[in-house]
Amino acid sequence: MLLCLTGWLAPQLGLADIDPAEYGLKSSVRSEKERQRLQAEFHTDKKREAELQRQEEEIEARRLAAEKAAWDALPYPVRLTKSRCTTCHIADYYTRQRHNRIGWGLVNLRMQYWNGVALTAEERVAIADYLAESYPAAGAAAMLEALLQLAVPLLPLWLWLAWKITRSRFGKRLNE
């Protein structure tokens, strides 16, 4: 019990053991001359800081100007596509896709009517022209896309054919 008590007391005593001299005015300014020197130092520091900040702002302004110049240098369809499409996708998303002109036109139509993108007819044309020229479908994928684009509008024909075939078989069976 006693041991416990001393164990508890010792650190408490230790806490009170700080030399009041530690709080002394070691860093206080003692003479007018020193005060002036410190003030001058403080001013130089402030000036250097302001100069650094000015330099940083200049670099940032130059970066923004370069960015704007690069943007202005882009052809109109690229700027149009980026400003219309990168609100939802990163540009990589659609530049990784490949479609023919009809395919890109359909993508734009879907973006407009399905996903609610505000596009005028001229913008749709400009964007689809640009994307089809820059990111065209090639090889087997292009053939498949063209085939699908051909086959889908002929859907009524396929349905009619299927109906004909079924009916002729059914009719034959009835006659037997």
Question: If binding is defined by CB under 6 A, does position 114 make contact with ligand HEC?
Answer: yes
Query: End-to-end alpha-carbon separation of the chain, Å?
Result: 111
Least separation in angstroms between CB 154 and ligand HEC: 21
Residue 7 host element (H or E): helix 2-15
- Whether the Cβ atoms of residue 111 and residue 157 lie closer than 8 Å to each other: no
Which two three-digit tokens encode residue 27? 């860093």
Spell out a b/e string for 155-168, using b for 16 or more CB atoms within 10 Å of the CB, else e. Answer: eeeeeeeeeeeeee
Least separation in angstroms between CB 175 and ligand HEC: 49
Query: Considering beta carbons, is residue 24 or 139 the nearer one to ligand HEC?
Result: 139
Residues 52-111 that bind ligand HEC (CB under 6 A): 84-85, 87-89, 94, 97, 107-108, 110-111
Query: Considering beta carbons, is residue 39 or 83 the nearer one to ligand HEC?
Result: 83
- Whether the Cβ atoms of residue 101 and residue 132 lie closer than 8 Å to each other: yes
Q: What amino acid occupies position 65?
A: A
Query: Considering beta carbons, is residue 84 or 137 the nearer one to ligand HEC?
Result: 84
Least separation in angstroms between CB 158 and ligand HEC: 23
Residues 6+ apart with CB under 8 A from 82: 74, 91
Query: Considering beta carbons, is residue 54 or 110 the nearer one to ligand HEC?
Result: 110
The stretch among 18-26, 36-44, 115-123, 135-143 that binds ligand HEC (CB under 6 A) is 115-123
Give the interface with ligand HEC as residue ranges (CB under 6 A): 84-85, 87-89, 94, 97, 107-108, 110-111, 114-117, 127
